[in-house]
Amino acid sequence: MKKILLSLLCVLLAFPALAQKNVYKFSVKDGNEKTVKLKDYKGKVLLIVNTATKCGFTPQYEELQKLYETYKAQGLVVLDFPCNQFGEQAPGSFREIHSFCTGNYGTTFPQFAKIDVNGKSESPLYTYLKAQQGFKGFDTNTPIGKYLDEKFREDNPNYDKDPGIKWNFTKFLVDREGHVVDRFEPTADMKDVEAGVRALLKM
């Protein structure tokens, strides 16, 4: 028993992000490379999204903005993290990305500096998010969901067992106490995302 406890302690010390109880211990960089503490959003319902500007899912920006406008008065905040790891579909500087999003989709929710969400240089925030909510599966009832599932399964038949982020516009839902309560893959219906947001806002 002692060996098991010591092993668990070693894991937690090696990966401190996994030992956190909520997202409030993490800090991120905004577009000006200034540190933003997530505890500043304490008491809010958060929807944390890795995004890209040249992706088939990029039009989801419009739906995210609509969701934000509808529920921000009730406490919703969408946190946008551009990421260039998937097909290099988030090229350009933060300024270029921000200008694209505001100009084409009128986004007003917080947008942060580009990050990695997988791999050696991944954001500690994303290490934590993935540990809390693993991959939920693509919606194979949709053409794009079926395509993505087949594409990933060709490379790794067990890809769905890995909690890593699979593509742009993966969404994590965080409650008012900073707990990660759900994850929505990019193929998830935005109506389901909205239902999850509404449920937390009522709590």
Task: Match 């994303």 to its residue by tokens.
Answer: 126
The angle subtended at Cα 53 by Cα 47 and Cα 55, nearest 5°, is 95
Q: Residue 81 is which amino acid?
A: F
Per-residue H/E/C for 177-199: CCCEEEEECCCCCHHHHHHHHHH
Find, among 123, 118, 122, the residue nearest to 135 by Cα. 118
> Could you say which of 10, 55, 83, 101 is catalytic?
55
Q: List, in order, residues 6 or more apart from 2 with CB less than 8 Å away.
A: none
Distance from first CA to last CA of the chain, Å, rounded? 39
Q: What are the start-end ranges of the H helices in 15-75?
A: 60-71
β-bridge pairing 76-82 and 35-37: unpaired
Known catalytic membership, residue 101: no
**Which of 110, 106, 105 has the alpha carbon at shortest distance from 94?**
110
Residue type (1 letter), 182: D
Structure tokens at 83: 């990421």
Angle 134-46-148 from CA coordinates, rounded to 5°: 40
Active site amino acids: 55
